Amino acid sequence: MHGSIPSEFGFGPPEPPRRPRRGWVYVLVMLAGVAGAVGLFAGALNLLMGHVANLTPQAEQRHEAATGVPDEAATLSGTARGLAEELDHVHEGIDVDWDASAVRTGTGIDEGQVVDSAPGIFMVDTMMMGFYGTGTGMVLTADGIAVTNYHVVENSTDVVVRMADTDIEYNATVLGRDSEHDVAVLQIEDAPELPVTSLNLSTPQIGDINAAVGNGGGQGYLTSVVGEVTALDKTILAGTDAAETTSRLTGLIETTADVVPGYSGGPLVDRDGQVIGVSTAASPGETTEEVNGYAIPIAVALEIVNQVLSGEETETVSIGVDGALGITILTTDDGPVIQDVAPDSAAEELGLRAGDLIISVEGEAVTTSSELARAINDRNVGDLVEVVWRDASGATQTGTATLQEAVVN
């Protein structure tokens, strides 16, 4: 779930904007011109949230008549339960202009209302080899434990967070991630006592009014888009316009809010401004009737935080930053071909060169850049992986690489 910002989401900011657009937003839009190029550093070319590629028929039938799901808050364990208790309605929440949203006219995608106050919410900037990505996230503890989408930070060489209410920037590191549920846990570095996010762990009901809040299109400030809950425990297949593969996401909240790229990892809030979910995907479309948003219930995100902080990996949860080879690749008709090899990288030590075609990783065939990226990213720094490739002479080579952290330029 990474790629370039599609033209249909090139909407402008509300007027007058409270903060200017950042100078590199235009670069993000133009990255559609390099679709297919993916970096296998432990860093990211992750520019937007996933679009819904398909809804499973079973999920549609199961949830047409749904009126709610069991309250997840009571089932939380360990750190997750502690966070739920500490953050439950801890303050007045995010200031959404509900009245202004209610009088919006027109059928186009809602450009949103500027958010004046959002304690604990930040914008995420990522970098990979000079390219920028953007998203949103939430602070869970005053010492800087935070959460965002995995696809926001996947492959990132550098992660910077900027607090929405103060405009102060901090570096952040990835403590762990769950690619299956699209959640990443961050540690914001060298930050003083940070404001935290205020949560509501009660299960929402179909028909409840809500709002998604985020850094739409990398605009550099927060806006909110209002909708209502239309389904619970939703299952979707999600990817981006440039993606070669999709991911199956389950247990989601569906909302009519016009969520767009840049809202990834940001809060879905209830009528009181309390966070009930983490925005992760949106259906494609050019009108408000076509676009729906999808969010991970906050209780699910807290359980993943709990697992990451425990330090124990599971089938879906990995600890630490992504593994990396230190290459960039491009999908061709033959498969993923190396475009560049970073100096002193794991790939260079292995003997990989620009122009080599990657055939498999750990015995699993890879036919696209996305497959190769996931095969590497799902492993940790220090892991040994067997790589099979075809070199410029046409000879097949096999070697074992020790995965590295990103080479930050």
Q: Which residues participate in catalysis according to the annotation?
A: 151, 182, 264
Phi, psi for residue 150 in degrees, rounded to 5 = -65, -40
* Preceding amide of 16 cis, omega within 30: yes
Q: What is the helix (H) or strand (E) element at residue 162, kind and residue range? A: strand 158-163
The DSSP result for 113-133, as a single string, is EE-S--TTEEEEEEEETTEEE
3-class SS letters over 324-341: ECCEEEEECCCCEEEEEE
For 183, other C-beta atoms within 10 Å of its C-beta total 28
Phi, psi for residue 128 in degrees, rounded to 5 = -150, 110
- What are the tokens at 348? 């260079």
Strands 50-55 and 275-282, bridge-based pairing:
parallel
Residue 265 DSSP symbol:
T
What lies within 8 Å, CB to CB, of 251 at 6+ separation is 233, 234, 235, 296, 297, 300
Strands 247-255 and 183-188, bridge-based pairing:
unpaired
| Residue listed under structure tokens 């000879």 | 395
Q: Are 270 and 276 in contact (CB under 8 A)?
A: yes
Give, in order, the Cα–Cα distances in Å from 297 to each of 69, 71, 105, 171, 217.
Answer: 11, 11, 30, 26, 23
